[in-house]
Structure 1
């Protein structure tokens, strides 16, 4: 009986979570242990966060640090004969099928665990205090935070295109709505909203038939832009596709348009998967040449650094980028330690799910420790691949505020790569390293401009972290299916095209007139890891298409020939512009400045607030101003110092929420801290305040970070670091994309790894991790999208 080993004071403060309270029950906050593991998950009855006792015992650490002693232990096992598709994202089960509950899918075991005594009591049990029963029952009933984020991310906003308005219709007599009017196919049917012509769609992954007769109709009648998929129709569903814009669109007057052809949408029931569902199914199930040349299944691999990532629904772009990123020593050493999670992260009173550095440490442990790189015993397949870890918390956090990465749609892996390393750098996230791990990709680029008239030269330098290469796309043939075949190129040819001089118009400061000039680029330093992306996406009739030019796989590259020229003996350098010789001023976020000044704040106040809140956004600056309106220096002239650090964690709380807590009798100082440690959630703040009545309200001091070095200092350091290099590189990894569009298809990563002391290519295809060779490696030549080369020692 629980009351026998825990006093009433310990559980009397418990309150059930409300519908708006985040409840974490998918995996541990600091590891990828789940309820499917032997020990299950321990869900804290005080803060509703999940922890695990297996191995690193985060449950005990959380209990000791925060004095939270009661947990709901939560274990799940898959019911017999249940297909693994039950774990697929929500969108996969929306095809007019009732979604199954957890009780229908899993056998669930629950108990109440006390960390102080290391004892458990069966739940539900009449011997438990009513208060504990209510909290535990509410946790079980609640939708997990990950599932809430997943549902929100699926709420895709599809917008009308210019062709979706004022559709001029021409009704055809006696329209047969049962089959394609060209080939007689009875599924995958699309009706033209202009004339009612019924044609079959394109063949889809997983055996959905189609002969593209709807598309052929659009090519014959170019002003018949939009078609609707009959099988997708219901009162709350309809696939509308504009062939001219080449994207899914919304038609505001669709109901009226369909009535022209005798179609009453209220009488239709959705019978076929929509475009998003088909894309997701393709993304999840695409095997990407998982067989060897002899037809045998490629050898699954397990162990440290060989952990797969479960597809969360069109998340392969993220998985491939993360696999490559954590194979780079700068990232693996920064975010992976034997302890799993640094103790300062365990002590952080905020929400671990909202801390990017914590999520990166969690990923480092999950991908590199080897604890999760074991055969999946749940599957009935003959070949046992991994179950894979599910980085749903990381995906939700990294996508916050981004219009594309917050959705469940397929995205561009290169764009995600750039966004992630840039975010890590801007937020000065270093893990256990002494400098930014993203520095491993940086190099100094020299831009040279030479006037053709007077011969004067202007040099400028910049820092970059990737190289975008042009591709020569010589079309050889187009087959009957519309498949294009291009002449093979190699990366050396693409690099030479990038290095090739360019003639530009230039306002020469010596000639005092517009002249032609030769512009070229060159490397002033060689990065430790060179990231190169061939330009496989091009615009054709203002529509982005992917070109499948084969790029010969080359293990070794030499970049010595594209080293910068500098000033040659017979050249004269133009005098520097005054603006380039003076130190660059602090540049304030212009959008945030405009918002703040539009709200009535003076320029001085706006600048001071932006500087003190990291120069990120107007909302944080506004909240800072509301808390500092009475500062003596608020209206004094303000110029940012050359370097500065903030000693105290920035305060960013909602004023109304703060007032409501103060009205309840809490001091402003304590209420402010309650909101901060509860990540702005008022209800959790109230729980924290009642649980910590003796807290002094002092905010923890932020760790001082070294002042940012100047661009000039970084350039000098990068040049010195690679001064001994001769520009030779070896291929480390390739991210590949199979498909005709970056908005669909599938990404995988090929990475060179040391397997039992031998360098081997490894294919990371979501949760499947296999040894790659032969025909599989051949895929890289036509699908290579992002190449990472390692500088030779």
Structure 2
């Protein structure tokens, strides 16, 4: 019957994919069902999107809404270990993308499924119409959409730093390339490109020994910036590390410099893992104390809300942030329903992969339904963890157009937290709500400026969504290998320091002169969930370093004493005319904290001003520092800097280029290929201004209208329109709970292990409800380490003290 149906089918409804087509065959568009599930997945032969007939029958829902009726059912069954091809890795290294034949790992079964008659026919079949055969062959041979984006993300570019140019070499008289000149190590050896000194590297993950003698050489001779790892050398491989920049770099004409020491790179064969390989291996395997006090492995837990994420190589920052967000009731209610993705998100949704709200529903279903929180029975390990759901599509979508999050390299979890919450508000992806679920983080901070001469005050209010706490780094000792020990501090001490009044210079309108004033702040309202990020980064010798300051693990926080007292009865409000008009017109206020940070690094003032202005005058000095390194050779870098007349005077933000406007020459290139200017601009913006990737996007979105997602600057909107800052403040101040309840309990902590925030590994500790047999469950601390979801004990929670990076406190109900 199925064969007769296919023979009578209007073949115009069947589309054969080409090289630019987006083909989805990794998982369902609306769930994390995959080809390895019992039902497999159904790839639509009309639109090439994937659906499933699992717990929720998205295949028939799609067919009913779209009139697409023919699908390729694609099912994979893992072969027994004895039948698998030898040499297949258990985890794929992404340094080199090689096509793997599915026949090596899986038994693949294909069928043509006709949804209208609910019948299937085995494939291949000689009587199936040729166009259907051609479509199936193209789908099976096509690189899936997820894989395409993954390959793009792993295109890693290592660039030269300022110290890699015009190197001056003063070779040592004798260079021994077989052993560290300071100890007996014969591996993990690094040669100083400046003098030939050979020292061992730092001890590395996976048992690679090292005593940091190459680093010690750099500290003793600061002008010797760059070292090269001998074991990494080959014609197409070389690890070069700049100790001054604390980063892997590229050295132009490296082979010429190495010949100084008799090293002919063409005769070398790579014998050790390079830095990127070690980093990826570390990110995949690095555990946060995955054993209990007795040495036994931590117990895996399963159930609704206890689902892990598969590590995509360097995606632990995303996994940790999303796990914490979806542990909050507002996010659960916003993006999850037992019935699955709402019908209105399926009807007329031509590209679910590009819709943020749909992807959030998919994540909610994956994490909270419990369907995917089951032991992975395909592994040989005695202790079974989960496979973990794979967030490839979500990661690609939220990172689209962002210079950092579109890559596969490790990123800062707190920056991603801010970015994702902002994206939800800008895209108005509010799910089941009429307002953003991110409203639970908002609170009113009241600022007071008091003139020390006349006692007059000026009051102002602002909406905050988090607090970045200063971390007291009181050094207690440093061992022989340079490891530092710091005095323990607490979150409460950090908050007190954050709220400590600051003395500033101020032009008092009442005194009509410049005076000193005290600037203080306090909580006017308290959020439902308080987000706290201790600042663990400190700039040392122009390099951002992570501080392992222990922060005492405490589960309760009382903010009663930091509530703003407002304007006191004996205080008089200062008049509005705060500053002479002539000063207002000519003064541009550079961010004081960032300016001081740059000056302390040794940058000249004119360079600092130019860098801050061109990077948005943000408080993060690292952004401006990176701009300076990239513009060292600008001819006007040391010229006196004048703020353009078009800049907003007295503002703390300069005029940035429009992030939604691409370079005109790039747009013209795409227009010359036949695309409209509007659509070309959108393609470039969404693909990080990469012309080649923009072309790929254009061919896969021929019917796109060219409209970029709407962005708002109000921090969220209510139903029916924008909400002003004043209305938001008023709403928060009239919430009785936000005004009176100032006590909190710790709900979750995102932790980071590693020497730099942009490397290492992130995990999340979350207070979650764990099944206990009585149906109710019990609140316990759970560790979410990618796909490993385990119970943790008291001793394991000690990991939080030195690695806690983002804390989430929930407000007590009374």
Match of 2:728 among 714, 730, 733: 714
Asked if 1:130 corresponds to 2:144, the answer is no
Is 175-184 or 774-783 further displaced after alignment? 175-184
What aligned pairs does 1:249-264 form with structure 2 within 5 A after superposition? Answer: 249-264=249-264
- State the Cα distance separating 1:32 from its structure 2 match: 0.6
1:620 and 1:542 map into 2 onto residues whose CA distance is 32
Number of residue pairs matched? 701
- State the Cα distance separating 1:293 from its structure 2 match: 0.8
Is 714-723 or 177-186 further displaced after alignment? 177-186
2:305 matched residue in structure 1 = 305
- Give the conservation status (yes or no) of the 8 Å contact 2:448–2:519: yes
Match of 1:774 among 785, 789, 794: 794
Is 437-446 or 204-213 further displaced after alignment? 204-213
- Give the conservation status (yes or no) of the 8 Å contact 2:470–2:498: yes
Asked if 1:752 corresponds to 2:767, the answer is yes
Asked if 1:789 corresponds to 2:809, the answer is yes
1:410 matched residue in structure 2 = 410
1:619 and 1:69 map into 2 onto residues whose CA distance is 40
Asked if 1:228 corresponds to 2:231, the answer is no
- State the Cα distance separating 1:127 from its structure 2 match: 2.3
Is 544-553 or 72-81 further displaced after alignment? 72-81
2:428 matched residue in structure 1 = 428
What aligned pairs does 1:290-301 form with structure 2 within 5 A after superposition? Answer: 290-301=290-301
- Give the conservation status (yes or no) of the 8 Å contact 1:90–1:151: no
Asked if 1:514 corresponds to 2:503, the answer is no
Which segments of structure 1 move beyond 4 Å, counting only runs of 4 or more? 82-85, 619-624, 653-660, 678-686
Secondary structure of the corresponding residue to residue 446 of structure 1? strand
Secondary structure of the corresponding residue to residue 231 of structure 2? helix
Is 341-350 or 419-428 further displaced after alignment? 341-350
1:618 matched residue in structure 2 = 661
- State the Cα distance separating 1:418 from its structure 2 match: 0.6
- State the Cα distance separating 1:253 from its structure 2 match: 1.9
1:486 and 1:85 map into 2 onto residues whose CA distance is 45
Is 748-757 or 394-403 further displaced after alignment? 748-757
Match of 1:763 among 783, 786, 792: 783
What aligned pairs does 1:111-510 form with structure 2 within 5 A after superposition? Answer: 111-173=111-173, 175-510=175-510
Is 357-366 or 340-349 further displaced after alignment? 340-349
- Give the conservation status (yes or no) of the 8 Å contact 1:292–1:774: no
Distance change in 2, residues 1:100/1:200 (3 Å): farther
What aligned pairs does 1:484-633 form with structure 2 within 5 A after superposition? Answer: 484-576=484-576, 617-618=660-661
Distance change in 2, residues 1:679/1:443 (3 Å): farther
Match of 2:754 among 739, 755, 759: 739
Give TM-score, length-normalised by structure 2.
0.81
Secondary structure of the corresponding residue to residue 418 of structure 1? helix
Distance change in 2, residues 1:51/1:543 (3 Å): same
- Give the conservation status (yes or no) of the 8 Å contact 1:304–1:368: yes
- Give the conservation status (yes or no) of the 8 Å contact 1:88–1:312: no
- State the Cα distance separating 1:14 from its structure 2 match: 2.6
- Give the conservation status (yes or no) of the 8 Å contact 1:505–1:515: yes
Distance change in 2, residues 1:67/1:621 (3 Å): farther
1:116 and 1:731 map into 2 onto residues whose CA distance is 52
Match of 1:91 among 71, 91, 94: 94
- State the Cα distance separating 1:654 from its structure 2 match: 7.2
Distance change in 2, residues 1:254/1:26 (3 Å): same
Q: Deviations over 1:376-399 (max 9, x none)?
A: 111111111111101010111111
- Give the conservation status (yes or no) of the 8 Å contact 1:89–1:312: no
- Give the conservation status (yes or no) of the 8 Å contact 1:84–1:379: no
- State the Cα distance separating 1:173 from its structure 2 match: 4.7
- State the Cα distance separating 1:313 from its structure 2 match: 0.9
- Give the conservation status (yes or no) of the 8 Å contact 1:557–1:730: yes
Q: Deviations over 1:620-662 (max 9, x none)?
A: 99999x9xxxxxxxxxxxxxxxxxxxxxxxxxx97965679xx
1:36 matched residue in structure 2 = 36
- Give the conservation status (yes or no) of the 8 Å contact 1:235–1:265: yes
- State the Cα distance separating 1:413 from its structure 2 match: 0.8
Secondary structure of the corresponding residue to residue 210 of structure 1? coil
1:281 and 1:392 map into 2 onto residues whose CA distance is 19
Distance change in 2, residues 1:658/1:247 (3 Å): closer
1:346 and 1:654 map into 2 onto residues whose CA distance is 33
- Give the conservation status (yes or no) of the 8 Å contact 1:448–1:519: yes
Distance change in 2, residues 1:778/1:723 (3 Å): closer
Is 237-246 or 113-122 further displaced after alignment? 113-122
Q: Deviations over 1:492-533 (max 9, x none)?
A: 111111111111111111222211100111111100000011
- Give the conservation status (yes or no) of the 8 Å contact 2:501–2:518: yes
1:33 and 1:271 map into 2 onto residues whose CA distance is 41
- State the Cα distance separating 1:561 from its structure 2 match: 0.9
- State the Cα distance separating 1:780 from its structure 2 match: 1.1
What aligned pairs does 1:665-744 form with structure 2 within 5 A after superposition? Answer: 681-682=698-699, 685=702, 706-721=720-735, 722=737, 725-744=740-759
- State the Cα distance separating 1:93 from its structure 2 match: 5.9
- Give the conservation status (yes or no) of the 8 Å contact 2:22–2:700: no
1:25 and 1:86 map into 2 onto residues whose CA distance is 22
Give TM-score, length-normalised by structure 1.
0.84
Q: Deviations over 1:151-189 (max 9, x none)?
A: 111112222111000001223455333333333433222
2:212 and 2:194 map into 1 onto residues whose CA distance is 18
What aligned pairs does 1:96-111 form with structure 2 within 5 A after superposition? Answer: 100-111=100-111
Q: Deviations over 1:533-568 (max 9, x none)?
A: 111111112211111111111111111111112111
Distance change in 2, residues 1:90/1:282 (3 Å): closer
Secondary structure of the corresponding residue to residue 206 of structure 1? coil
1:470 and 1:778 map into 2 onto residues whose CA distance is 21
1:680 and 1:486 map into 2 onto residues whose CA distance is 50
2:680 matched residue in structure 1 = none
Secondary structure of the corresponding residue to residue 404 of structure 2? coil
2:105 and 2:288 map into 1 onto residues whose CA distance is 30
2:151 and 2:232 map into 1 onto residues whose CA distance is 20
1:12 and 1:502 map into 2 onto residues whose CA distance is 72
Superposition RMSD on alpha carbons, in Å?
Answer: 3.0
Q: Deviations over 1:570-614 (max 9, x none)?
A: 1111123599xxxxxxxxxx99xxxxxxxxxxx9xxxxxxxxxxx
Distance change in 2, residues 1:84/1:562 (3 Å): farther
- Give the conservation status (yes or no) of the 8 Å contact 2:508–2:578: no
Secondary structure of the corresponding residue to residue 572 of structure 1? coil
- State the Cα distance separating 1:123 from its structure 2 match: 1.9
Secondary structure of the corresponding residue to residue 211 of structure 1? coil
Distance change in 2, residues 1:407/1:21 (3 Å): same
1:42 and 1:347 map into 2 onto residues whose CA distance is 18
Secondary structure of the corresponding residue to residue 309 of structure 1? coil
Secondary structure of the corresponding residue to residue 721 of structure 2? coil
